[in-house]
Amino acid sequence: MTGEPEDPGPRPRPGVPVDGWRRRWADRARALGSAARSRTRRFWAGAQPTLRHLWWTEEPATPVTTVDRRFPEPLVVPAQGQVYVFLLRATFTWSSETARPELFGWYVDYFQPQATQRLHRLAVRCSVEVPPHRPRELHTALTAALAEDDPPPWTYARGEVTFTCEPDVTVHLDERVRRLLQPYWEQRIALECERDLARRRTEYAQERGRSEPPSPDPSRPSGDATRPPGAGPTPRRGPRPGDPVEAFTPLEPLLPPPAPRPRPPDEPKPHEP
């Protein structure tokens, strides 16, 4: 099959039936169509591997966690007796993986009153049994209640958006109670400082006594004074067992000077008889 179209044959003459001519053209068209389809299939089969590398594929979006911290006004809860109060300073940590960053703040403002009321209700239940001058007990009781009754993180949802909240609480004294406790703590601090100073003085005196040798008593006679008269000198004690002995090498005695050598006899001179 060449690129040039084949001769369809002579055209029909006027007045001659055209069924044969049309049949030949129909057969020719079907042959060209089947050839084109087969070539297209072969081309598509060969081009698919290349097209797969060129296709744009979007990677799955990695979830991004947005975190924000809010510091609302201190919560006021009544203490035992309903006369004084405790101040609770809370920090709320909000996080979400489904909220859009531009709408994150709006959702936090929407859920913040609910979380504050939730914490306040739990704190009031614990504070009414605690004396007003013991904030540590309230903090311990509130921490236990959060862990057992309503453990964080708290979950809030609106539609398809989900938020988690983790509260962190510190307890502070009422200012009126603080003023009442101030003289007590001033005296207690002063007493503890005095006790610590006395203890340090005792320790310093003991260390000084161990480091200095004991001074001789002048009223006590020495060892020579107690010896009877006429006794010889005090013998020198030898080395104690286990003590290193001094290495002492005595000097060699001086040798006497050598004797003079005898003078040889005089020899006679030649001119003497």
- Give me the CATH number covering residue 150: 3.30.479
Residue reference for tokens 């005196």: 205
Beta-bridge partner residues of 158: 161
Neighbouring CB atoms inside 10 A of 96's CB total 25
Distance from C-alpha of 261 to C-alpha of 233, rounded to nearest angstrom: 49
Name 139's Cβ contacts closer than 8 Å, sequence gap at least 6: 169, 170, 171
User: Over 90: is that where the pLDDT of 124 sits?
Assistant: yes
In a domain, 80, yes or no: yes
- 127, 78 Cβ separation under 8 angstroms: yes
pLDDT of residue 245: 47
> pLDDT value at position 92?
96
What is the reported pLDDT for 154? 95
CA distance 180 to 125: 25
What is the count of structural domains for the chain? 2
The mean per-residue pLDDT over the stretch 238-249 comes to 50
Q: Which domain holds residue 165?
A: 66-173
Task: Tell me what pLDDT residue 19 has.
Answer: 65
- Judge if 182 and 110 occupy the same domain: no
Q: How far is CA 190 from CA 180, 181, 183, 185, 195, in A?
A: 17, 14, 11, 8, 9
Selection from 138, 137, 131, 141 nearest residue 180 by Cα: 131
d(CA 13, CA 21): 11
109 occurs within a structural domain: yes
Q: What is the mean pLDDT of residues 170-178?
A: 94
The three-state secondary structure class of 48 is helix
